[in-house]
Each structure stands twice: as C-alpha cells, then as structure tokens.
Structure 1
Amino acid sequence: MRTLHERAIEEINSGRPAVGARRLRDALRLGEATPSQTARMLGTLAAAEVARGNTGRALELLDDAEQVVSADDRHLLLSQRALVLLMTGRLDDALALFDDTIQRLRRTDQRAALARVLLNRGMLHQIAGRVRLALADLDLCARIGGSLGPDDGMPRTVAKAVHGRGQCRVLTGDIPGALRDFDIAAEVYAAQGQGMLAVLAGDRARALLAAGLPSEAATELDTFLRQVPELRMGHEHAEAELTMARAKLAAGDPSEARRWAARARLHFRRRRNDTWAGVAELAVLRADFTAGRGTVRVARAASRLAGRLRSLGLRNDADEAALLSARAHTACGRADLARAELAGRDRPGAPLATRLLRRLALAELGAAEGDQRRTFAEARTGLELLREHRARFGSLDLQTGTTSLGGELARVGLAAALDNGRPEVVYRWLERSRAQAFRFPPVRTPADEQTVDAVAELRAAAREVRTAELRGSHDLDALRRARQIEREIRAKGWRTDGSGERHAEVGFAEVKAELADAGSAMVVFLTHGDRLLAQVIGDRQADLLGLGDPGTVFEAIARLRSDLDAACGRSLPATIERVIHTSIRRQLAIVTDHVLTPLLAVVGDRDLVLVPTGALSAMPWSLLDALRGRPVTVTPSPSAWVAAKRAVRPTGPVLLVSGPNLEHSSDEVHRLARIYPDSTVLDGADATVANTLHAVNRSGLAHFASHGHHEQENVLFSRLDLVDGPLMAHDVHQLAAVPDHVVLSSCDIGQAVVRTGDEILGFTAALLYSGSRTVVSSVARVDDHAAVDVMTSYHHALTRGVPPGKALADATEAEWLMPFVCHGWGG
C-alpha cells in the first residue's frame, strides 16, 4: 500500500496528476489501507484533483480524510487543505493553514515534510507579490532539502525551490539569474519530473516577456500548450493562456490578447478560482483599453477590480488595475478621477512593470493637463528605470528588447518634446527613445564546451543546407536541426549578466560641434502618429521638418529592395528588365518626393549623416539621383556617431577574405591584395572560419568578398559563407576585438531587424555594437561582377586618404544599382 502511494506521489510531482490520481483510486479500492494510510492517500488524491481542475471534488476528499486522520498526521492534512485553497485562489485562508502547519512541523523531526510546506508557502508569497518572504521560504526549503538524502525525494523538492527562486527573480527584473535558476531546475526535472519541464516553459515565457521579447515568449508557450492535453494540468493551462494574452498585447495585437485572456478567465472560473479569474479579467481590460474599446467602461471596471484584487491579497495585480483605471480616466478627460487612482507611491519591492506603469500613467496625466515639466519628469524617470533594468543584461538580444511600457514612455516624452518645439528638447527625447543598446559596453562571455560544440554542429548543419540550396533542392532535416541549435545557442546567451555600465548620452551642443568639425548635417528621422518627421541638425541651426506619409515611404522601400533583388546579376528578357527598371525609378521617385526634396532645401550641399527609423534602415541612399556622389553615412543614433568619430584606434594589418561559390570573389581579393601588398589573404581552402576569426582579431581593416545571408527570423545567425561553413553574427559578438573598418562585399548583409525604439540587429549591427567604427555593406543583392570594380575603386581612394563616406560615394557614382551603404563613421 505504501508503495502504491509513493508511486502516486511520484507521478503527481512529475507533472502527471491524472496518472497519480488513477493509482490512488486503485489503492483505495483495495480496501487494505489503515485509517492513517487512507487519510494520507485521500489528501494526496485531493492535490491531484486540484491539479486536474476538480477543486470541488478535492475539498470533498479532504473532508473525508478529516474523519479518519490521526492526531500525528493532522499537519499533513492541514498542508494539503492549504494547497487546495492556494490553487483555488483563497490566499489568506491558505496562508493561515500553512503557518499553522509549519509551526507544528518545527516541533517534530519531519524535516522533509517541513521543506515541502515551506516550498508551498513560498509559492503563495510569490503569487501575492511578497518576494522577500517568498525567497526566505524557498531558500530555507532548499537548505533543508539539501541536507537530506535522495531517498526522501528531496532533489526534486530542491529543484522546485530553485524554480520558485527563478520566478521571484523575474519579479525583481533579474532575467539572466532567473533563466539560470530555471536551467538548474530543468536538469533535475529531466531526470525525475518530465511533466514539470512543460511548466518551466511557461515560466521561461514570462521571463522573456519581462525582458521585452514577446514573440520568443509566445514560442515557449506554444511548447507548453502542445503538451497540456496529455498532462491535464488545468491551472497551469489557464495560466499559460493568460501569459499568452500578455505576450500578444506586448506584440501589439490587442484582439488576440483579448481572445487568450477571455479563454483563461473562462478556465479559471470553471475551476472556481475567482482570484485568478480576476487576474485574467485585468488582462481583458488591458486589451480593451489598448484597442480603444469602451474606455469609460474600462476605467470603471478596472477601479472595481483593483479593490477586489486587493481584498484577495494580490497587491501587484491590484496596483496594475488601479493604474489602468487612471490611464483610462485620463484618456476620457477625467483628470480628477485619474489623480484619485494614482494616490500614493510605489510600494517597496514593487515589480519593475508596476513602477514603469505608474510613471507612464503620471506622464500621461501631466500631458493631458498641459504640464510638460511633469510629463518630462515622469517619462524620464521611467526610462531611467528601464535603462537600469537593461544594464543587467549581457545579451545583446535582451538589451535590444524593449518592454511595451518602455515604448509608450518614450512616445509620451517625445510627443511632449514635439509640442515644446525647442530643438535641444526634441533632440534629447529622440536620443532617449532610440538605439539604447549602443549605450552598454559589449559583454563577451567565453563560450563553454557545450556552446562550442553547438556552434560547430550548427556550422555543419548550415553547410548541408547551403550545399542543398546550390544543388537547387532543400535539406529540410538539416534546416530543422540548424534552427533548433540556433534557438539553443541564442537562449544560452540570455543567461549572461551585464556589467551594469553605460555610456553617457552625447549632448546637443556636442553633436553640433562635431558636425561643424566634419562639415556635415545630421538628419534624425522619426514617426509620430501618421507623420514622418525629420530633425535636421547643422553646426548653427536645427529644423524640424514634416515629410511625407510613412506608410507610402516604407512600402516604396520594400518594393525597391524587391526590384533590386530581381534585377541583380541576372540576364533578363529586355521586356522584363524594362519593367523592373521602371519600377525601381518609380520607387526612387516616391522616396525623393516624400523624404529627400523637403530635406535638400535645408541641408544644402553638405555631407549627410542619417539616423533612420523603421524601414529607412534598409534604404540604399546612393541610388537617389540627388545624392549620387554625395557622402552619406548611416548611424544608429547621434551619440553612436559622435562616439565613432571620437574613437582613436591604432592601425592594424589588412585582411582580405574570399568566400566560395562566388564567381568573381577570388579576383576581387587578389586585386585588392595588389593595393595592400602586406595584407593577409584567405582564399580557397584557406578561407576557413577558424583562420578568419584568428586573423580578424588582429586586423585594422577587413574586406569580405563572399555570399552573405540576412536572417530575418534569427538575426544573430545572419552570416557570411566561408569554405567550411558560415561566419555568423554570433561569432562577431564573441570576438575580443573587431577591425576598425569592415567592408562586406556581400548580398543584403547590410540589412537589420529593427525592434521597438529603433534597436537594430544583424551582421552589420553586430560589428558596430562590437566596436567597428565603419562598416560598408549592402542592403540588397549585389552584382558581384560589378562589385569588383566598385570595391577596387573604393580601396584605391582609402589608400589616398579619402574618408570612407566620400570614397564609397565616388566608387558607386557610375554604377546605377549599387546598394552599398556606409554605416557608423564615414569620415
């Protein structure tokens, strides 16, 4: 009988409550149990029924157990009843029973039982937002469990305590630490609790959502939701649906967010869990507010919900509901009601999301009342909190993720700056709202053995994929394997802590002085509502210009790049070629009319430094007739440009690399070798990844003539083809040093994924983040035959001391369809 009970507990603790319940019912039907055994099994069966969503049946089983429990075992029944109450959302009642149970257990030698109850009480404190108390219980649980042997089932209990500690770290904003804790727990779950791995996927999703990566969070949740039917985890299923709602809302899809939140609310109600149903109701109201549906109704409902959640012990959720009510009242023009909801201050230990939301609500109220000083102060404070949060990340992937609240804070501050109109104020808020990841020094974590092996396996898989492509076929198995390895490598990087350091923001006067020194004008593009704007900064003036419709401009750029790819390096029928060239001219005319013409009257004939937004990052500026032959440099932000201009780096040797399967690449590098007689040339069998990484570390200028591939869905693995596999953006981030100047004579490797806040990711971006001052690359496919002459001309000019921006403008002037762009510092 004891063996059957132990097997049932094993199944439940492994995340298989349905199997555990079946074993317990079989054991009870045998009728061979003592009263004490019967009480224990009924208590365990109650826990299994709660996990399956049968809370009413669970309470009935506990009542039955009360009839037969012995005095010595009463603490076990109290603990089980507390757990049922916790799972049904009755937090105060559950806490009272947990406290009683722990006091009883402290007077006994049942240390394993004490550890398990501490684990459950820690989970309760974490749900209620009492992080300090939760961590105290979880740490004590882990210490007790670690002092006991594996025969007591403690490894899994300790793993759950570490898992809970990770959940608490998410609330405090320590995402790398949380993910490391989840990894530790996963190792134990893999051996002793497979079902818990699915639960862990839901918690990883919440961590990634807190880091500003909603699509990655949704991918983790998909993993969990696919396993729910067989695991039959009713509460966890509903919780995952609720997290999916939050992910959809963060991704800008309020309709889908509402659908997922409504499903979660329904499932919680079916489980008679009014507490969690209230949390799901809050997600429904947030989605409605974001979509602009029933704002007055949302304001009133959120205010009522705040009171209900507070009475249920959910302080963080109650605060969020009150802040939502305040925002809705502000949107309806009811400032007095908004102020009432905003009374008080942040609670000590309040989650970052709550603190950001309060700053946003106060900033919006200030804007509604015309109080710019207050709007600026609250938005600035919120963005500073967010920067401190992001400084904890060592992964560029996380640093470039921006929470939806961060985006809204920047939007409110920038809107107030535009209303203010003073050039230095507009500049300051533009700097605060874009490319913040460039403010953090790169963190290069030495790769462990597992990562090194994974990267080697990825190169082999990618080589198989590429070989199949060159044969005109697809190796789907190799492609799936490569994608899986990419996800694993990327996730490994998320665990890296940041240094906490930040580069200072460059002031408006400093930018103007540096522009005067360079003889350039800077154009900072931005979208505001349905308008495309540009701040033009010169040595003496700064103008804010209204440009064309952003949708029209961005669509024209997308069509232009598609046309360039279609026209590149192909022998097309004359009729088709004329159609494509006509379309190219049409798209260029649209960009000229909507963007360039308004600017030219202000910038005159000065060299240009462009700070793009959105799809403008993919614009081949040199193709515009009015800019042909004019030096144009593209930079992520004014501060990034000034930092690159001021950087002084010693000159180093020249590296020339030729990739495979490119007809003219070898000719290109050998032509350049005649310009640089002392250069290192890697061609043919010598152009391996290892040789290249060894040489590039020591180089001052590196030129790559190879196929390039921009990976839109997984930009850290955008790559250059070398003879034994790809050199990836991931490899660049691991380098101790990068060349000051890099030329990528490669197809579309100048593209970037642009995240919220104009944070960029891609191969070119990887070089800029890692310290390269100048990167010349293409934003569309390149005709490699024509590129040979262009690149030869470019490097000849460099050796004569011509700055990169001017050298590229001269080299491409005679070639109509050369979409090369000078990124970073153009001299």
Structure 2
Amino acid sequence: MRALHRRAIEVVNSGQPKAGASLLRRALAESGWPERTSPLTARLLGTLAAAEVALGNTGEALRLLDHADDVAAPEDRALMLSQRALVSVLVGRMDDALAHFDDAIAVLRRGEDRAALARVLLNRGMLHQIAGRVRLALADLDQCARIGGSLGAVDGMPRTVAKAVHGRGQCRVLTGDIPAALRDFDIAAAVYADQGEGMLVVLAADRARALLAAGLPSEAATELDAALRRFPRLRMTQEHAEAELTMARANLAAGYHADARRWAARARRRFRRRGNHTWAAVAELTMLRADFDGGRRTAGIARGAARLAERLRTLGLRIDAEAAALLAARTTIALGDLTEARALLAGRDRPGAPLEVRLLRRIALAELGAAAGDRATTFAHARRGLALLRDHRGRFGSLDLQTGTTSLGGELASAGLAAALDSGSPEVVYRWLERTRAQAFRFRPVRTPADEQTVDAVAELRHHARQARAAELAGSHDPVAQRRCTQLEREIRARGWRVDGTGELTTEASFGELTAELAASDSVLVSYLTDGSRLLAQVVGDGRAALLRLGDPAAVHEAIARLRSDLDAACGRWLPTGLRQAIDLSIRHQVATLTEHLLDPLLDLVGDHNLVLAPTRGLSAVPWNLLDPLRGRPVTVTPSPSTWVTAHRAPRPSGPVLLVGGPNLDHATDEVDRLAEIYPDATVLDGPYATVEATLKDIDHRGLAHFACHGHHEQENVLFSRLDLVDGPLMAYDVHQLAAVPEHVVLSSCDTGRAVVRAGDEILGFTAALLYSGSRTVVSAVARVDDTAVVEVMTAYHRAIARGVPPGRAIAEATQTDTPMPFVCFGSGD
C-alpha cells in the first residue's frame, strides 16, 4: 500500500489526477477500507481528496476529508490540514485555505518532516500568488526551493522544487518581469518533461499569460490552442477553466470582444460546475470587460461591476476587486455620473498591483479628467501611465516584446492625444505624438546571446528554408521543410523573449530641436495621425506648424491595398495589351486617390521643400515617389520625428562599400558589376561567394551595403523576413544580432520595404530591423519592382551617391522612369 501511495502521489503531482485516483482507490481497497482502517488510511483519503477536487468532484473531496479526519493519527494532523487547505483553494475558499495552511506550517515547523514542510510552503505560496500577495508568495516559494534543494532526490523533491520555480515565474508575470518568468518556466519544464504531460500543459497556459502580459495576444492564443486540446483528456477541470479564461483575455486584448465573452462564459460554467464560485466571479468580470470594450456603456454594467468588486474583495481577491471597481468607474464616467466615478476611484494605487491594474487606474483617472474638462488632469494621468509602460518596456531585450507592449497603453495614448488635439497647441500635439509613436526605437538594441541551442536552430532553419525555396523555384512546394521552418522560427523567436533589456533609452527631440533640424535641411515634416475615425496631418517647418484634416481613411487604405496589388501584378511579366492597360489605368486611379486624400490638403504648406514623412498604420506601405506632386522631390520616411532628428545628426557614412548579388536573380551579377565600376574599392560577393557567413563577416562597419537579392516579407513572422543568398536566407533575425550595421543600405529587389505595423506605429520587417540596429538610411521597395528596369535605376542612384547627392534626392531622381519604381528612402534621407 505504501508503494501504491507513493506512486499515486507521483502521478497526481505530475498532473494526472484521474490515474492517481485510480491507484489510491486500489490502495484503499487493499487496506480493507471502509470496514477497517490502517495507519495509512487517513493519508490515502487525503491524497484521494486532492485528486478528486482536481477532477472537479468537490463534494466527494470534502466527504473524503471528513473521513480522513475521523481516522487520522496525531502525527498526520498537519497533512490533513494541508489537504483541506488545498481543497479550499481549488474550490475558491481562499480565507479558509490560508488559515489551514498557516496551521499546518506551524505544526510542521515543530517537527522533522522537512519534505512535507516544503510541499505545504509551495501550496501556501501559490495561494498568496493567486490573491496577489506577491512578496509573501515569493518568500514561501524561495523557502520551499531551499528546503527541497537540501533534501536532494528524496520524496519527489526535484518536482517540488520545479513547482516552486514555476510559481516564482507566475509571480514574476505579476511584477512584469516577463523575461525572468519565461526563464523560470524553462527551468520547470526541464523537470516536468520526465513527469508526464499534465504539468507541461499547465505550464503552457502560464506561458500564455506571460505573453499576454507582454502585449502578444495572438502568440498567447497559439500556446493556449495546444493546451486546450489536451485538458479534456487529462480531466484537469480547474486548470482547463483557467486556460479558457486566459483565452478570453487574449481575445479581449486582440479586440475580439464577442469571442472573449464566449470564452469567459465557458470558463464560468466550468468553474460553477466545480463549485468554485470565486473563480466564476473572476470569469464574470472578464465578461463585463468584454461588453465594455465592445462598446456597451450601460448602467447594468456599472452596477454589475460595482457588485462584483465587493464580492471579489470579500473572497480575498483584492487585485481582481480593484479591476472590477475601475471598470465600474469607467462605465459611470461614460454615463456622465462623475460623482459616483470619483467615489469608485478614491484611494491610491495598491502597492505591488500588476501593471494592467495600474494602467487601468491611470486611464480611468485620465477619462475622468477629460469628462470634467480638466485637461491638466488628463495629461498628468496619461503621462504617468505611459511612464509605467516605458519602464515595463525597458525590461525587455526582445524587440518583439518591446513593440508588443505598446498595445497595453493604447487607451492612455488616445486619451493624451485627444486632449492635446483639443488644446490646439502644435507643440503639445507634437509632444504627445512622440510619447505614443514608435517607442521601441528609443531603446538601445540588445543582442540575443548566441547559445549553442539557438545557433543550431538557426543553422537548421537556414537549411530547411533553402530546401523550401528550391522547391518553390522548381514550381512545387516542400510541406515538410515549410512545417519545420515554422517550428524553428517559433523556437528561435521564443528564445529571444527571455533576454533582459537594459532600460537605456534616448531622449525625445524637443519641438525646438525638430524645427531647427528641419530648417537646416530645408525640410518640412508631415506627421500623419488618427483621432477616432479622423485622419489628420501635422505639418511642421518653414517657420510654422498646422494641423489639417485629411480625406477618408477607408478610401486611403483601400487605395493602398489596390495599388500594391496592381504594382505586383504589373511587375516584370508579359501581359496581354488589354490587361496591361487596365492595370495601368488602375494604378493611375489609386495614385490619384492617394494624392487627393493624403497630399492635396497640405501642398500649400509644404511648398517646394524636402519632405520628411512620419506615417501611421497602413500608410507605411505608400510608394510616395509615385504620387505626382512628389515625383522628383526628396522624400524621407521615418518612424518618428525624434528618430529622424537622431539619424540626421549622425555623421554621413564614410566606410567601405559592400556589394552582394544573390542567386536566382537574372540581373544580380550585371547590377553588382556596374556598381563595382562606380566603387572600385568595394568588396563584391556574387555567385558562389554570396554566402550568409561571408556577408555577415563583411558587413561589419560598412559605410554602404547594396543587396541585389530576392527578398521575402514574412507577414506572419516578420523576424524571419529575409534576403536569399546562395546557401540560404539572411534574415531580419540575423540583422538584430549584428554588433554594427552599415550606415546606408540599399535593397534593390522585391518588396523588402514592407513592414508589419503594430499598435503605436511600431514597425517590424527587414528594413525596420536595419533601422532598429543602427542603419542611418535604408532604400527599399514597398511593392515588387521590375527586375530588368531596376538595374538602370540603381546605376543612376549610385552614380548620384558617389557624387555626394543625398540618398533622398538620389532615389527621387533615379526613379523618374516610365516603369513604376516603388522605392522609399527610410531613415535620415541624407
């Protein structure tokens, strides 16, 4: 029986309660229970109670505990208290659970069973974590790990220590230290891998919560998809319901409000079936948040959230209670009841509250200021919230996470910018745009450590990507290679999430610094922005500043999509005369539409100056040089004005030149040969010499690098947008690992200027990777280019560069051809 009991404990603790319960009932039957008892009976009943509650059988668990109390020996008192506490946690009776854990720990500290003490400390630590008492949780978990570590491999202590590390990761999610949390989860996973899939599924759900806290809801949903398919087989109903609730929050963060409500309702039903009304209340809060975020602002939501706040407070969930009170306050503000809102918002930030709750308080207070006509209050709270987010972002070394976190401050940014627009001050509008746009560019890049596993994964990815590309060129596809590429890309990307940030950031350029730099370069800045459904432009330069309302955003985005499709269709292929004429006509129509909506209202202010454009959202895909008023005019596109000022102040590139000609591109050798005549001292990598290794070795400290290579923009995983070289792809991931990048880069083929634009106009893609890593100017195309015509364009461009013509002017002059050349000059433009 003792062997069966030990085995059952192992199975239950590894996340397999159904199998464990079967073993325990077998042991009880062998002991003769209920007709007779043994010294082991109480322990068997207590462990079976824990297994039954994990399976959702709460009534049966409580009945078993009552039987265990009746037959327990005095030395088993601590164990019975611990098991009753654990059952109380799983049914949501948090105060009862804490009292039972405290009593059990007091008994165990007087005894010699150190393994039992470690396990109870683990469970109390998890209770503190659920209730938001992070400091107390970490104290218990650290003590558990120390005791467990000192006991070695006895009594399943390695797994207990792994659970303590897992719990520490959960606490770090609450404190916002996502890289450290993910590292802790990796440590726990290495132990869980030998213990069965149960704990690995729980860990996957916790990893999803970490990604959600980092502003990556789609990645969180991917983690949850796999976990949710496995929970039914494992019959882990509590964990299953918690994962459903996390999926609801992921959908909420992604803006899918109806789906979020459905997932939360499913979780609530599952919690109620378990008799866990505490967690059911948390699910109900998520349902109300989905209604609110979906546009409902009703008195019913306000009353429901206020009642729920009181209920959650009574249940011991202080953080969830505060979130409910904040939701009630925001709803009452929307309904115009500012007196009630002030009452709900009374008090201060709760020390140690998660970032999400602190940001919710700031947005509620900013909205209260706006509703009361108190612009200063709105500014103050929006600024404080964005400062919290900035500090949070600084903890991440991964650009993926840095850009993702911007979405967490979307409502704060909107509130601050709306107040700025209402102020009518160009300088105030400028400052708020700078606080809310392309913030990841302000942080010093962090290179991911080249650990052995990552190096091997990158090498394997290059191999499979080359296989997939070879199949594509042969007119077929290799699904095995493509599937493996997807797996490796996710693995490599996830490793980057674990890297800490430095917190070092550059200062924003002041309005005065911007206007001085614009005057020195004879330039005018146009910052495009949105306010609700309005598309606006702030024009700064030539001694003045103005804010203009532009055309219809829907018409603009439709024209951008159609224009890119037309350019791709017309590029480098023979077409019947009628179809060619139809496409050319459509191109002219889309160009005219974009000109009308984006340029015509501001042409008088722009005059004949050089243009610096800071686009928003889909405007990053506009081929500006094709718009008639801009043909032949120097146009530079920048993520933000501060980014342009920083780049513009940097010294002009003066290092050596690198020319790279990629494979399977008919004009590549001709192109690099022509450019080699312009730059006789250049390093040329062409044909079999254009390898990834050689390119990465020779790219360091170059003043100028030119790539005549096929490129691929990966919309779904932009970190792996790439250029094709002879032995595989050179990826955006590789660019992020470089210690130094060329000051000036030209990508002459395909659409490598395209980007994924995240919330806050954070951009990702191959061109963006170069800019983030320090390239001062990047010239690339936002749609496909004609491979034959591009040779002449690039030759003309580099002849101008060699004469000292700035890149913005050089590409403007070189692309004045009959063939549309959708090249854009990104960065500084000079």
C-alpha distance in 2, partners of 1:377/1:271? 45
Aligned partner of 1:8 in structure 2 is: 8
**Which has the higher mean CA deviation after the structures are superposed, 598-607 or 199-208?**
598-607
Which of these residues, 119, 134, 139, is aligned with residue 137 of structure 2?
Answer: 134
Aligned partner of 2:623 in structure 1 is: 620
Aligned partner of 1:387 in structure 2 is: 390
2:89 pairs with 1:110 = no
Give the partner amino acid of 1:325: A
**Does structure 2 retain, via aligned residues, the 8 Å contact 1:45–1:58?**
yes
Please list every run of at least 4 consecutive aligned residues from structure 1 whose deviation after the TM superposition is greater than 6 angstroms: none
**Which has the higher mean CA deviation after the structures are superposed, 592-601 or 459-468?**
592-601
Aligned partner of 2:365 in structure 1 is: 362
Aligned partner of 1:20 in structure 2 is: 20
Give the partner amino acid of 1:764: T
Unaligned regions of 5+ residues in structure 1, if any?
A: none
Aligned partner of 2:180 in structure 1 is: 177
Aligned partner of 1:208 in structure 2 is: 211
CA offsets 1:613-643 (integer angstroms, 9 cap, x no match): 0110011011111111011100000000000
Which of these residues, 557, 562, 566, is aligned with residue 563 of structure 1?
Answer: 566
Give the partner amino acid of 2:774: G
C-alpha distance in 2, partners of 1:292/1:825? 41
**Does structure 1 retain, via aligned residues, the 8 Å contact 2:741–2:774?**
yes
**Does structure 2 retain, via aligned residues, the 8 Å contact 1:52–1:233?**
yes
Aligned partner of 1:584 in structure 2 is: 587
C-alpha distance in 2, partners of 1:748/1:650? 25
C-alpha distance in 2, partners of 1:460/1:664? 25
Aligned partner of 1:726 in structure 2 is: 729
2:491 pairs with 1:488 = yes
* TM superposition shift of 1:405: 4.0
C-alpha distance in 2, partners of 1:401/1:536? 28
2:161 pairs with 1:158 = yes
**Does structure 2 retain, via aligned residues, the 8 Å contact 1:13–1:193?**
no
Aligned partner of 1:330 in structure 2 is: 333
Listed as ranges, the matches of 1:773-784 within 5 Å are 773-784=776-787
2:785 pairs with 1:770 = no
Unaligned regions of 5+ residues in structure 2, if any?
A: none
Which of these residues, 219, 234, 237, is aligned with residue 237 of structure 2?
Answer: 234
2:273 pairs with 1:287 = no
Aligned partner of 2:319 in structure 1 is: 316
Aligned partner of 1:607 in structure 2 is: 610
Listed as ranges, the matches of 1:373-412 within 5 Å are 373-402=376-405, 404-412=407-415
C-alpha distance in 2, partners of 1:145/1:484? 35
C-alpha distance in 1, partners of 2:217/2:558? 25
* TM superposition shift of 1:245: 0.8
* TM superposition shift of 1:7: 1.4
Which of these residues, 508, 511, 519, is aligned with residue 516 of structure 1?
Answer: 519
2:810 pairs with 1:810 = no
C-alpha distance in 2, partners of 1:426/1:174? 32
C-alpha distance in 2, partners of 1:113/1:364? 51
**Does structure 2 retain, via aligned residues, the 8 Å contact 1:35–1:69?**
no
C-alpha distance in 2, partners of 1:551/1:213? 26
**Does structure 2 retain, via aligned residues, the 8 Å contact 1:250–1:403?**
no
Listed as ranges, the matches of 1:540-555 within 5 Å are 540-555=543-558
**Does structure 1 retain, via aligned residues, the 8 Å contact 2:17–2:236?**
yes
**Does structure 2 retain, via aligned residues, the 8 Å contact 1:623–1:816?**
no
* TM superposition shift of 1:32: 4.8
Aligned partner of 1:821 in structure 2 is: 824
* TM superposition shift of 1:544: 0.3
C-alpha distance in 1, partners of 2:211/2:523? 41
CA offsets 1:279-316 (integer angstroms, 9 cap, x no match): 10110010011112252111111111101101111010
* TM superposition shift of 1:583: 1.2
Give the partner amino acid of 1:423: P
C-alpha distance in 1, partners of 2:408/2:617? 19
C-alpha distance in 1, partners of 2:819/2:477? 34
* TM superposition shift of 1:185: 0.4
> 3-state DSSP class of the match of 2:404?
coil
2:662 pairs with 1:665 = no
Aligned partner of 2:791 in structure 1 is: 788
CA offsets 1:119-146 (integer angstroms, 9 cap, x no match): 0000000000000000000000000000
> 3-state DSSP class of the match of 1:400?
helix
> 3-state DSSP class of the match of 1:259?
helix
* TM superposition shift of 1:650: 5.7
Aligned partner of 1:350 in structure 2 is: 353
**Identity within the alignment, %:** 73
C-alpha distance in 2, partners of 1:342/1:296? 17
**Does structure 1 retain, via aligned residues, the 8 Å contact 2:714–2:721?**
yes
Give the partner amino acid of 2:705: A
> 3-state DSSP class of the match of 2:373?
coil
* TM superposition shift of 1:794: 0.2
* TM superposition shift of 1:651: 1.8
* TM superposition shift of 1:194: 2.6
Which of these residues, 441, 465, 468, is aligned with residue 468 of structure 2?
Answer: 465
CA offsets 1:160-216 (integer angstroms, 9 cap, x no match): 000000000011010001000001001000122431111011111111111111111
* TM superposition shift of 1:605: 1.1
* TM superposition shift of 1:74: 1.6
Which of these residues, 741, 745, 758, is aligned with residue 744 of structure 2?
Answer: 741
C-alpha distance in 2, partners of 1:647/1:379? 32
CA offsets 1:55-111 (integer angstroms, 9 cap, x no match): 111111111111211111121111001000011110000000000000000011100
Aligned partner of 1:752 in structure 2 is: 755
C-alpha distance in 1, partners of 2:604/2:260? 46
**Does structure 1 retain, via aligned residues, the 8 Å contact 2:406–2:760?**
no
**Does structure 1 retain, via aligned residues, the 8 Å contact 2:789–2:819?**
no
**Does structure 2 retain, via aligned residues, the 8 Å contact 1:363–1:374?**
yes
**Does structure 2 retain, via aligned residues, the 8 Å contact 1:360–1:405?**
no
* TM superposition shift of 1:674: 0.4
RMSD (Å), alpha carbons? 1.0
TM-score by length of 1: 0.99
C-alpha distance in 2, partners of 1:404/1:735? 27
> 3-state DSSP class of the match of 1:586?
helix
**Does structure 2 retain, via aligned residues, the 8 Å contact 1:205–1:218?**
yes
Give the partner amino acid of 1:5: H
Aligned partner of 2:703 in structure 1 is: 700
C-alpha distance in 1, partners of 2:226/2:505? 36
2:31 pairs with 1:31 = yes
Aligned partner of 1:276 in structure 2 is: 279
**Does structure 2 retain, via aligned residues, the 8 Å contact 1:172–1:349?**
yes
**Does structure 1 retain, via aligned residues, the 8 Å contact 2:746–2:780?**
yes
* TM superposition shift of 1:529: 1.1
C-alpha distance in 2, partners of 1:497/1:813? 46
Listed as ranges, the matches of 1:209-224 within 5 Å are 209-224=212-227
TM-score by length of 2: 0.99
> 3-state DSSP class of the match of 1:526?
strand
> 3-state DSSP class of the match of 1:699?
coil
**Does structure 1 retain, via aligned residues, the 8 Å contact 2:297–2:335?**
no
Decide whether aligned partners of structure 1 residues 591 and 650 sit closer, same or farther in structure 2, where only a CA change above 3 A counts. Answer: closer
C-alpha distance in 1, partners of 2:371/2:120? 50
Give the partner amino acid of 2:334: A
> 3-state DSSP class of the match of 1:655?
strand
**Does structure 2 retain, via aligned residues, the 8 Å contact 1:9–1:20?**
yes
Give the partner amino acid of 1:18: K
Give the partner amino acid of 1:23: L
C-alpha distance in 1, partners of 2:31/2:13? 25
**Which has the higher mean CA deviation after the structures are superposed, 771-780 or 149-158?**
149-158
Decide whether aligned partners of structure 1 residues 768 and 534 sit closer, same or farther in structure 2, where only a CA change above 3 A counts. Answer: same
